Amino acid sequence: MSKLRVAVLGGGGRIGSEAVRAVEAAEDMELVASLGRGDKLETLVDAGAQVAVDLTTPASVMGNLDFCVRHGIHAVVGTTGWTDERLAQLKGWLDQSPETGVLIAPNFSIGAVLTMKFAQIAAPWFESVEVVELHHPNKVDAPSGTATRTAQLIAEARRKAGTAEAPDATVTALDGARGADVDGVPVHAVRLRGLLAHQEVLLGGEGETLTLRHDSLHHSSFMPGILLGVRRVGSAPGLTFGLEHFLDLG
Ligand SMILES: NC(=O)C1=CN([C@@H]2O[C@H](COP(=O)(O)OP(=O)(O)OC[C@H]3O[C@@H](n4cnc5c(N)ncnc54)[C@H](OP(=O)(O)O)[C@@H]3O)[C@@H](O)[C@H]2O)C=CC1
Ligand SMILES: O=C(O)C1=N[C@H](C(=O)O)C[C@H](O)C1
């Protein structure tokens, strides 16, 4: 059977370099290109890439995806910075190239995907819910893509269940003291040397609390999800948002 021809954009970065090694080690894949900032995207076409993995920056990802979709190259995207406007623009490009698939995964690790799922289930059952994400200090965006998505899913679950707003008597606060407001859910971002990627969802009800915590201790935690995305994205035309759609979580 012929191998999947895979390129990595951002192949010199923290997660990109790990992805390059993972693709090289996968028996059913061939790494045909690893691109850094300033490298020509035409290389993807010359190399015959079927799937591009984007692990670059929020400032670069849209240009990369515009190129990939126009050239019918499927994309697996871990890069953060997604807004409704960006998603709408991407969907517009995909409408012009209906056989192309793009997977955007706010987090490729199975533990993080499950944390989001558990948070969705728990959120309507508690009065209060807040998200704390903790990352290495080289991260350029805050809050993390994972925390943003987690908060959106929590808010959606509470809206559907008709849950009341979380109690909060704060009348005076320093800027940022109560975190960022993501769909009504406070999200707090910590940047600390020594950390990689961590998240807590704190839920509180009368007389009890529940804490969901996930820790990515090494970039290897993201690799099975990236490889799964690469294998599946070609048979999922259009936009898939979230790795959970490629997992049978019940
Ligand atoms: N979804 C997930 O599970 C995960 C997502 N991420 C996300 O992945 C992204 C990358 O993170 P991280 O590896 O820590 O960041 P790094 O800064 O270490 O890596 C980004 C890399 O992309 C390169 N780059 C920038 N622009 C381009 C471009 N146009 N074409 C090709 N390469 C480019 C950078 O080059 P240069 O250094 O020259 O600027 C750098 O090597 C972030 O958005 C992060 O949040 C990270 C981990 C897991
Ligand atoms: O920048 C990182 O490191 C990570 N970014 C992603 C995010 O913003 O959620 C995924 C993971 O948290 C690691």
* Residue identifier of the C-alpha nearest atom 4 of ligand 2: 197
Q: Is 74 known to be catalytic? A: no
- ipTM, 2 dp: 0.99
Distance 46 CA to ligand 2 centre (A): 31
Ligand 2 pocket test target in 136, 139, 215, 222 with most atoms within 8 Å of CB: 139
Confidence (pTM): 0.97
What Cα–Cα distance (Å) separates residue 99 from each residue in 24, 52, 61, 67, 195? 26, 15, 20, 15, 40
Distance 66 CA to ligand 1 centre (A): 17
Convert the pLDDT of each residue in 122-149 to its tens digit. 999 999 999 999 999 999 999 999 999 9
CATH number of 4-104+220-246: 3.40.50.720
The DSSP line for 54-83 is E-S-TTTHHHHHHHHHHTT-EEEE------
Task: Provide CATH 3.40.50.720 ranges for the chain.
Answer: 4-104+220-246
Convert the pLDDT of each residue in 73-95 to its tens digit. 999 999 999 999 999 999 999 99
CATH topology of domain 110-217: Dihydrodipicolinate Reductase; domain 2 (3.30.360)
* Position in ligand 1 atom list of the atom nearest CA 139: 14
